[in-house]
Amino acid sequence: MAMTFGSSEDEAQTMSSINTTPLVDVMLVLLIIFLITVPVITKTVKVDLPKAVNIPTVTKPENITVAVDAAGNVYWNDGKLSGKDALLERIKSVAVLQPQPEIHIRADKNTRWENVGRVIYNIQRGGVVKVSFVTEPDRGVRGFR
Q: In the 3-class helix/strand/coil scheme, how is 73-131 assigned residue by residue?
A: CEEECCEECCCCHHHHHHHHHHHCCCCCCCEEEEECCCCCHHHHHHHHHHHHHHCCCCE
Whether 55 maps to a domain, the answer reads: no
d(C-alpha 66, C-alpha 105), whole Å: 5
Q: At residue 144, does pLDDT exceed 60?
A: no
Identify the CATH number of the domain in which residue 101 sits: 3.30.420
Whether 44 maps to a domain, the answer reads: no
Structural domain that includes position 128 = 64-133
Bridge partners (DSSP) listed for residue 12: none
pTM of this structure: 0.54
Split into its structural domains, the chain has a count of 1
57-85 pLDDT tens trace: 666 657 888 998 888 889 998 888 888 78
28 neighbors 34 (Cβ within 8 angstroms): no
81-123 pLDDT tens trace: 888 789 999 999 999 988 888 999 888 888 898 999 999 999 9
Whether 21 maps to a domain, the answer reads: no
Whether 125 maps to a domain, the answer reads: yes
Whether 37 maps to a domain, the answer reads: no
Closest residue by Cα to residue 78 from 93, 65, 97: 65
Closest residue by Cα to residue 95 from 63, 130, 128: 128
